[in-house]
Amino acid sequence: MNPNQSSASPLRSVSLNINGRSVHIEAEDNTPLVYILRDALGLKGTRLGCGQSQCGACHVMLDGVSVPSCDTPLWAAENKALITIEGLGQPDALHALQQAFIDEQAAQCGYCVSGILVSAAALLAKCPQPSEAQVREALDAHLCRCGAHNRMVRAVLKAAAGVQA
């Protein structure tokens, strides 16, 4: 299940707070969070890309900080507020960023978008009116093979401005 683990670590019961819900997981301590989210909990919105902390596809928010879940062991998330893309908004109540991405048609294939939305949400939570440079810096860790970065930056600025299409 997890190609990144070189040696087994002990099984442990870990308490997680995911999108405001308490969850108990029994797994090897060093299991990268992305496998827990996708395989054990069925939260497939978090994407697995490089698996090496290089692409940004797997980002989730831990205590308000956007982190690569492929490089975050299960134990590091214990008793922290973990937000995944599923926790940002609902189909009938989209997060302002999700609406702005739709309005700006900011996604193409969409594979990178979950991680980018999480990082953008972390940015807006601590800096509600970012400059374009701040948005670009916040998204710097994220690769987009479709080359949609400029539209995504526009969408983040639009969400920050509270502008609806």
Among 70, 77, 97, 120, binds ligand FES (CB under 6 A): 70
CB of 4 to ligand FES, least distance (A): 10
Among 16, 25, 48, 60, binds ligand FES (CB under 6 A): 48
Among 4, 111, 134, 154, binds ligand FES (CB under 6 A): 111
Q: Which stretch binds ligand FES (CB under 6 A): 18-26, 79-87, 111-119, 155-163?
A: 111-119
Phi, psi for residue 29 in degrees, rounded to 5: -55, -35
CB of 116 to ligand FES, least distance (A): 7
Query: How far are the Cα atoms of 38, 133, 141 from residue 17, in angstroms, in the given order?
Result: 15, 32, 25
Give the Cα separation of 43 and 9 in Å (integer): 23
58 belongs to the binding site for ligand FES (CB under 6 A): yes
105 belongs to the binding site for ligand FES (CB under 6 A): no
**The two three-digit tokens of residue 123, written as one number:** 């940015």
Q: Which residues contact 42 (CB under 8 A, 6 or more apart)?
A: none
Question: Which residue number, 27 or 48, has a Cβ lying nearer to ligand FES?
Answer: 48
Q: Is the dihedral of CA 154, 159, 163, 165 positive or negative?
A: positive
Compute how many other C-beta atoms are within 10 angstroms of the C-beta atom of residue 54: 13
Positions touching ligand FES (CB under 6 A) are 48-51, 53-58, 68, 70, 107-113, 144-146, 148
